[in-house]
């Protein structure tokens, strides 16, 4: 049971760091070769591996969205007895954010975390409103079009 409490606390700390635009805390919560995967069909899509890639991805998001607010609905832990900082955690969330122009957005989703030795080895977002996500973050058109 203590393992579940520790894992949940770590995940909540990560979401708090996002809301505080704290890139360094977020990057520090990942393993050096940690991976974050974001759904396809938008400008933020893809697999982002390693500290620099994570720093760049989060920095880009934070620059565009000065207001980010997560409401965690459920945080589930695969192994409630795990004590070594290794676990799988799923967080269901609502996201309300506002860009620099004052546009407000609402998304819902789940983030799956693979935590090993107290650090996120991987995190993957599943967002339910794919069309809305693509409208918020349209892909850049190649130059010359």
Lookup: tokens for 14: 């990560």
Look up the CATH number of the domain holding residue 87.
Answer: 3.10.450.50
Answer yes or no: is 141 within a domain: no
Number of independent structural domains in the chain:
1
| Residue with the two structure tokens 């609402």 | 106
Answer yes or no: is 108 within a domain: yes
Domain range holding 43? 2-136
**75 touches 110 (CB < 8 A):** no
pLDDT tens, position by position, 119-144: 999 999 999 999 999 999 998 765 65
Answer yes or no: is 50 within a domain: yes
Mean pLDDT of 12-16: 95
Answer yes or no: is 80 within a domain: yes
**DSSP summary character for residue 48:** E
The pLDDT of residue 34: 97
Q: What are phi and psi of 65, to 5 degrees?
A: -120, 90
Model confidence, pTM: 0.91
């Amino acid at each position: 049971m203590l393992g579940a409490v520790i894992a949940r606390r770590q995940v909540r700390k990560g979401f708090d760091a996002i809301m505080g635009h704290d890139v360094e805390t977020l990057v520090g919560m990942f393993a050096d070769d940690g991976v974050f995967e974001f759904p396809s069909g938008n400008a933020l899509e893809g697999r982002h591996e390693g500290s620099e890639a994570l720093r760049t991805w989060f920095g880009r998001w934070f620059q565009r969205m000065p207001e980010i607010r997560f409401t965690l609905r459920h945080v589930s832990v695969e192994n409630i007895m795990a004590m070594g900082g290794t676990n799988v955690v799923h967080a269901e969330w609502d996201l309300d954010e506002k860009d620099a122009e004052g546009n407000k957005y609402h998304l819902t989703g789940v983030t799956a975390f693979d935590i090993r030795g107290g650090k996120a080895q991987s995190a993957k977002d599943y967002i339910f409103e794919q069309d809305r996500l693509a409208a918020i973050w349209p892909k850049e058109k190649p130059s010359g079009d």
